[in-house]
Chain A
Amino acid sequence: MRAWIPHLLRAALLAVLIAFLVDPGWFDPLLKPLVQDNAPAIYNQGSLLTLTLLHLRTVAIATTGAIIVAVTLAILVTRPFGAEFLPLSRSLVNVGQTFPPVAVLALAVPILGFGEKPTLVALFLYGLLPIFENTLTGLTTLPPSVMEAARGSGMTDRQRLFKVELPLAMPMILAGIRLSVVISLATATIGSTVAAKTLGEVIIAGLQSNNIAFVLQGGLIVGALAVLIYDGFSAIERILARRAGLSTRS
């Protein structure tokens, strides 16, 4: 019943976002009331589309790195030979999460210089925990009878991992990646304080010139991206979970 309403809202959100990025001029009348006389209502120090793509690129690179490291780590510590490293890796990843990204930026700039690199480091560290924890949960809560059958049918350790464990844990892993991506999308904006090209630039420019319209459009683009990507991941997870027979029949 009315299952199409959320889809319609998402499609509308996507359409508005694309329209705004391609030709922000159309929205000028909407934002004009927010600014003082003669101040520009639409960000004019660069293309919003280019900034959005750079923002997404930064998040994609950092998240890919975090996925590779966190998933590998989670696989290693759930093997018999790696079990004793479980507490150590857990605390390492937790430290990555508790360390404020701003502090990471401040520490990384003297070493890596200004620009995208310190931001990538901060996002990478910040994104590790959700992926690691979820992969760990996914790999350690597999049905015992399925694991027993996998061993009993003569699969090697590697075959069990790739044919049974990872496919069954995939919905959980994806949920971790989804959380990590959404956190990174928001956190990436602070990268612009160290001259990374992200949508944070728009917000910072707005703060410096007391231009609420800038702050608003920077924030709204990030928000819209987060909502759409979150929904996209959720949909993939549902499909995978249904295929894996893990969800109840609808």
Chain B
Amino acid sequence: MIEIDGITKRYDGNTVVNNVSMTIEPRTVTVIVGTSGSGKTTLLRMINRLVEPTSGAIRLDGEDNRSMPGFELRRRIGYAIQGHGLFPHRTVAQNIATVPVLLGWGKARIDAKVTELLTLFQLDPAAFSARFPHELSGGQQQRVGVARALAAEPNVLLMDEPFGALDPIIRAKAQADLLAIQRLLGTTIVLVTHDMDEAFHLAHKIAVMDKGALVQYGRPAELVKDPATEFVQTLIGTSERPFRLLSIETAGDAVEPGPAGGKPLAETISQRDALSELLWAGRSALPVAAADGTILGRVTLEGLTRRAAKPQ
């Protein structure tokens, strides 16, 4: 659990983050959104003390994050950034091993961890360990960046626009991978982005920052239903509201019993994508299949339409 308690950051009288309080539940994904200059990155960087707050406190599992030197705190918190920031003079394996080496792990344990993470991120350890970052594609570099952040098995992973430099196709894959890994490891993720689609796709809860203040903090559906300010409304986009609602949950969550013809949809795709498939196929229902091919039921146009309507 991360408790942010009355955090303020001023630079020369200029308030960048203004009295923000919020509690982040363990093993969830919290996405901080806002325009550039809204203070969202500064807020994130105060959690691992890359920025020291002017006033207020941040507690990790009840422990003040100033109870230890900043560098020790940062070794316990994963940190992944836009443009990955891999060390160009070190191999993939050495990059991933950065924090374990700083923590003084034994060589066997480090090697095992590197192999485990490369496998988890679908990079063949034999082929990739000894490569240098400039020999990888953008998507591979990004995966190594996240693997490095997770190497010391942190409870908390901070991500600053981690997918910002990726093209749309690789980005969708990276987001799906992140969600799968988050479910697998149970890591608490705090992610900063200005991409609302990304926020709705990833977040259990969304925090909206505007001019340094936290204007709304809640589940994605709450934001769509009751936007706290005009700004939140604009950010979500009035015409996007039904589609935002559909992009929160997966097709698997909208399954109804009953038969349907046509090519089955994967249960992991969003309901928004399922709707799109239905419209394109010109059908009122399509079957939904689990990863192993079993038919779970069907999604219907009618069912999705109901889910896209304003919550009562």
A159:B102 contact, CB within 8 angstroms:
yes
CB distance from A213 to the nearest CB of B (A): 49
* Residue numbers in B under 8 Å from A145 (CB-CB): 81-85
Interface residues on B, range: 20 to 34
B48:A152 contact, CB within 8 angstroms:
yes
Is A167 located at the chain interface by the 8 A CB criterion?
yes
Most buried by B among A148, A152, A249: A152
A164:B87 contact, CB within 8 angstroms:
yes
A241 to B135, CA, bound (A): 14
Given A145-B82, A145-B83, A149-B79, A154 contacting B72 (CB threshold 8 A): yes
Most buried by B among A149, A150, A153, A245: A153
Interface of A is mostly: helix
Partner of A245, one of B48, B73, B102, B134: B134
Given A245-B132, A249-B134, A155 contacting B71 (CB threshold 8 A): yes
The tally of CB-CB contacts under 8 A between chains A and B is: 72
Most buried by B among A151, A164, A243: A151
Is B99 located at the chain interface by the 8 A CB criterion?
yes
Is B244 located at the chain interface by the 8 A CB criterion?
no
CB distance from A65 to the nearest CB of B (A): 28
Q: Mark A82-124, 1 if CB is under 8 A from B, else 0.
A: 0000000000000000000000000000000000000000000
CB distance from A165 to the nearest CB of B (A): 11
Is A244 located at the chain interface by the 8 A CB criterion?
yes
Given A154-B72, A245-B134, A249-B134, A149 contacting B82 (CB threshold 8 A): no
A-B contact pairs, 18 of them (CB 8 A): A143-B88, A145-B82, A146-B86, A146-B88, A149-B81, A149-B86, A149-B87, A153-B75, A153-B148, A153-B149, A154-B71, A154-B99, A156-B71, A164-B87, A167-B89, A244-B89, A245-B88, A245-B135
- Which residues on A are within 8 Å of B, measured CB to CB? 143, 145-156, 159, 164, 167-168, 243-246, 249
- Which residues on B are within 8 Å of A, measured CB to CB? 48, 50, 71-76, 79, 81-89, 98-99, 102, 132-135, 145, 148-149, 158
